[in-house]
Amino acid sequence: MFRITKKVQLTPLIFHMEVEAERVAKAAKPGQFLIVRATENGERVPLTICDIEPEKGLISIVVQIVGVTTDKICRMNVGDAFLDVLGPLGQPSEIVRYTAEQLKEVRYLFIAGGVGTAPVFPEAEYLHKRGAKVDIVLGARNKGLIILKDKLSAVCDNLYVCTDDGSEGFKGNVTAMLDKLMSEGKRYTHTVAIGPMIMMKFAALTAKKYDLPMMVSINTLMVDGTGMCGACRIKVGDKTKFACVDGPEFDAHLVDFDEALRRQRLYFSQEQEADKKAGLDCCVKK
């Protein structure tokens, strides 16, 4: 059993949990994800890893209520335990392949939105601890939806907060913030965008204007998480890839985002029906 040791509500629909998972914590690397099952008859839910503490045997996850199963998970409390935590799964981020000397020469910009902020933290922390230069753009619709701000500010050189309504930081979305940084003369060797699919699409288009290499994490498409169901199949360049086993991170300039957006809505009607039966009316939809 995998006991919850800490639970914090970040927004009305988003929760942060620390979970005892000693073997996972010792093996996990930035960029990888988990499959969580709360109960014997529960749905298997792919979740990105927000933090890894191998010395304590702990991993952290951030869960947003988007349907019946995530609602049940978010109702669990400290002392409760997940039946299964499977992982680490997927391929680690490209950052783990760099040598110590190479890391000192890179300058990374992370663009984080929504629950996509969670997997940004372990990658930024990994780079920051090894002397790499790291900037982060943290975006949300409004101030009340900003998450993990303090954690991110501790692992980067510059944190740029932006909100669509201007309630905190720069008024505008993350792509407008990227435009602003580039127009001010900022230069980066690598960029990574993680968040809603539509956000990553437009972040990639903006990065392309400046010839910026960019990686994106296609974790939102996953269902089975092991490559068996095919739900996360996407086109990357001229090849078909599976987000769960080949990714979740891919070259943003090669991803067919239009196909990915269509695939993301594949089970929308079934999700709506399940929510209706459960009496849920506050869930965020893709």
pLDDT of amino acid 285: 45
Asked whether residue 30 falls in the same domain as residue 74, the answer is yes
Closest residue by Cα to residue 12 from 285, 286, 283: 283
User: b/e string for 153-173 if b means 16 or more Cβ within 10 A?
Assistant: eebbeebbbbbeeeebbbebb
E strand spans, the chain:
2-11, 14-20, 33-37, 45-53, 58-64, 81-82, 84-89, 107-113, 133-140, 158-163, 170-171, 190-194, 214-217, 233-236, 239-242, 249-251
pLDDT of amino acid 230: 85
- DSSP label at 195? S
Asked whether residue 110 falls in the same domain as residue 208, the answer is yes
Asked whether residue 108 falls in the same domain as residue 26, the answer is no
pLDDT of amino acid 201: 97
Asked whether residue 18 falls in the same domain as residue 80, the answer is yes
Closest residue by Cα to residue 24 from 82, 81, 83, 87: 87
Asked whether residue 38 falls in the same domain as residue 14, the answer is yes
Contact assessment for residue 121 and residue 221, using Cβ atoms and an 8 Å cutoff: no
Closest residue by Cα to residue 21 from 81, 93, 92, 89: 81
The CATH number of residue 195's host domain is: 3.40.50.80
Tens digit of pLDDT at every position of the chain (286 positions): 799 999 999 999 999 999 999 999 999 999 999 999 999 888 899 999 999 999 999 999 999 998 889 999 999 999 999 999 999 999 999 999 999 999 989 999 999 999 999 999 999 999 999 999 999 999 999 999 999 999 999 999 999 999 999 999 999 999 999 999 999 999 999 999 999 999 999 999 999 999 999 999 999 888 888 888 888 899 999 999 999 999 999 999 999 999 999 887 766 666 666 667 767 665 444 4
CA angle 279, 285, 68 (to 5 degrees): 35
pLDDT of amino acid 50: 96
The last residue of a domain, from among 177, 196, 217: 217
| Residue 197, token pair as written in the block | 């699919």
In a domain, 28, yes or no: yes
pLDDT of amino acid 160: 98
In a domain, 256, yes or no: no
The CATH number of residue 35's host domain is: 2.40.30.10
In a domain, 241, yes or no: no
Asked whether residue 24 falls in the same domain as residue 43, the answer is yes
Asked whether residue 161 falls in the same domain as residue 55, the answer is no
Asked whether residue 101 falls in the same domain as residue 212, the answer is yes
pLDDT of amino acid 286: 41
Look up the domain containing 49 and give its range. Answer: 2-89
Contact assessment for residue 52 and residue 23, using Cβ atoms and an 8 Å cutoff: no
The last residue of a domain, from among 168, 202, 217: 217
Q: Is 168 helix (H, G, I), strand (E, B) or coil?
A: coil
Closest residue by Cα to residue 175 from 113, 224, 234: 113
pLDDT of amino acid 81: 97
197-209 vs 257-264: helix axis angle to the nearest 10?
170
